[in-house]
Structure 1
Amino acid sequence: MTAPSPILVDVDGGIARLTLNNPRRKNAITQEMAGLMGAFCDRVHEDTSIGAVIVDAEGTYFCSGADTRDLASASDDPASPEAVARISAVYQAFVRVGQLPVPTVSLVAGGAVGAGLNLALATDLMIVTPDAVLDSGFLARGIHPGGGHLALLGRSVGYAQAVALAVLGTTLSGEEALRRGLAWAAVERESLLKAATELLGKAAADPELARRIKASATLEIGPPAVPWAAAVELERGVQMWSMGRKGRAGWDHKPA
């Protein structure tokens, strides 16, 4: 009997969905999963009919981070090329998600810890359950953060709150994450997918424009951000492209 894939992929109505499928280990990311995540990102880049991405997980827990068996193995000789390659493969998968050309939303139920929090932070927006636990986790494991964890936290919640989470080891519930601007919305578990699908509806309906706007957002907002005057120049050409696509007659129709 063939084992189920540890990464599930679905594309429907302009939305591609990547689902972690390792629930017995709280969806810890293995080497195989990292490779499949990279293949998913390749597909999104190549398939221009995709206008948005959802990242979620099977079971009751979003992601507990990198597989501890890989971490333990790498700790035997952390400077070895093999150890560096194993850990880098996991982090590179998250970087690929963060570089997707379409708007992305992660759905966090249960918890996101360590590299699992990196994955959630790699998406543009996070929707959480009120009781979800967001935990840097590295300090508790006695290791330094990795995968750009501090930069991801810093751009999401600022220096002081990044220090509280990563350096001091504090945790946030989903409700607290919403209040502090780390999450976009907090809804019950059964409403996560519906909330994300509704949020991404307009982008999914016009993938070409969504990709253009996302590219401009990445260039202008960063990191690093660009000055306002430069943003005006960056936007001008793409806005004129969109106006040409719309045409004069297009202004006779009000958006839904």
Structure 2
Amino acid sequence: MTGEPPAITTVHDGVARLTLNNPRRKNAITLEMAGLIEDFCARVHADDGIGAVLVDAAGGYFCSGADTRDLAAASDDPAAPESVAGVSAVYGAFVQVGRLPVPSVSLVAGGAVGAGLNLALATDLMLVTPDAVLDSGFVARGIHPGGGHLSLLGRAAGYQHAIALGALGVALSGAEAVRRGLAWDVAGQDDLLETATRLVAGAAADPQLARRIKQSATLELGPPALSWPAALEVERGTQMWSLGRKGSRGWDRNPPKPDLS
């Protein structure tokens, strides 16, 4: 992997893919990687041809968290401006993933620990291998969770799970995470990418619609969530836009073939 960037990005057929590429350290997130994640997110915002995002990792392990060398340096003087800035840069990158304008899916093989679990939870859906380990990890290291970890856990699976993982240090397998609602579905490691690609195919094929639906979901579901009448108003204008785009002929069972002469 020498000479390769710690995060690789590609765009193909409406799908933008971010691959963590620090496998020798189980894809621990460095400051350089955090910067590349932010650059990737900015590219997704700017490119209207992107309808979905996949986040995965090289080497069979999703992410072991923030690089412990950076954490050790911050521990020497946690109040120092450079310590605060370094930790904030890592967590800020996850916030940008959470603010992506299109549906996003993380592909978790091997494990996601601490800040690595934050990254997975920042996406809209998580696909996991059955034996992947999802572990808050903060309590085991004797530190308080960071990066909005408890909020992310609570958003995904509720208060009890936030306490169980974040405060009690409970770890879940991928299969159990799906059963408890923390992850969307399981797939074998060799099938993760194909499963995710099928899952986002509709969004990738129609980026305009995907972006508008994602925006409505963000507005309606919050936090704070909107009332049903308010959600109706949020959706009304965009649904009318989609009807106008489709046009009356779009409802024909057998639309006329275009004249190619």
- TM-score tier after normalising by the smaller chain length: over 0.9
Q: Which 4+ runs in 1 deviate beyond 6 A?
A: none
1:71 corresponding residue in structure 2? 71
1:97 corresponding residue in structure 2? 97
2:32 corresponding residue in structure 1? 32
1:80 deviates by 1.1
**Counterparts of residues 68-217 of structure 1 (less than 5 Å):** 68-217=68-217
Q: What's the Cα RMSD here? A: 1.1
TM-score by length of 1: 0.98
Provide the secondary structure at the position in 2 that maps to 1:19: strand
Q: Please tell me whether Structure 1 or Structure 2 has the larger radius of gyration of its CA atoms.
A: 2
Provide the secondary structure at the position in 1 that maps to 2:137: coil
1:253 deviates by 4.8
CA distance in structure 2 between the partners assigned to 1:111 and 1:71 by the alignment: 20
Give the letter for the 2:42 counterpart: D
Provide the secondary structure at the position in 2 that maps to 1:11: strand
TM-score by length of 2: 0.96
Give the letter for the 2:95 counterpart: V
2:246 corresponding residue in structure 1? 246
Give the letter for the 1:41 counterpart: C
1:234 corresponding residue in structure 2? 234
CA distance in structure 1 between the partners assigned to 2:83 and 2:251 by the alignment: 57
Provide the secondary structure at the position in 2 that maps to 1:39: helix
CA distance in structure 2 between the partners assigned to 1:2 and 1:77 by the alignment: 31
Give the letter for the 1:241 counterpart: W
The aligned length equals 254
Post-superposition CA distance 1:110-148 (Å, at most 9, x none): 000000000000000000000000000000000000000
2:57 corresponding residue in structure 1? 57
CA distance in structure 2 between the partners assigned to 1:138 and 1:187 by the alignment: 27
CA distance in structure 2 between the partners assigned to 1:239 and 1:79 by the alignment: 49
**Which stretch shows the higher mean deviation, 218-227 or 87-96?**
218-227
CA distance in structure 2 between the partners assigned to 1:58 and 1:2 by the alignment: 14
CA distance in structure 1 between the partners assigned to 2:123 and 2:208 by the alignment: 19
CA distance in structure 2 between the partners assigned to 1:216 and 1:124 by the alignment: 14
Post-superposition CA distance 1:152-187 (Å, at most 9, x none): 000111001110011000000000001001111101
**Given the superposition, is the C-alpha separation of residues 73 and 243 from structure 1 closer, same or farther in structure 2, using an over 3 Å criterion?**
same
Residue ranges of structure 2 left out of the alignment (5+ in a row): 255-261
1:2 deviates by 6.8
Post-superposition CA distance 1:197-246 (Å, at most 9, x none): 00000000000000000000000011221111110010001111111111
**Which stretch shows the higher mean deviation, 74-83 or 112-121?**
74-83
Provide the secondary structure at the position in 1 that maps to 2:139: coil
Provide the secondary structure at the position in 2 that maps to 1:140: helix
Provide the secondary structure at the position in 2 that maps to 1:241: helix
Give the letter for the 2:249 counterpart: A
Q: Does 1:47 align with 2:47?
A: yes
**Given the superposition, is the C-alpha separation of residues 166 and 203 from structure 1 closer, same or farther in structure 2, using an over 3 Å criterion?**
same
Provide the secondary structure at the position in 2 that maps to 1:147: coil
Provide the secondary structure at the position in 2 that maps to 1:134: strand
Provide the secondary structure at the position in 1 that maps to 2:140: coil
Residue ranges of structure 1 left out of the alignment (5+ in a row): none
CA distance in structure 2 between the partners assigned to 1:120 and 1:228 by the alignment: 29
Provide the secondary structure at the position in 2 that maps to 1:59: helix
Give the letter for the 1:232 counterpart: L
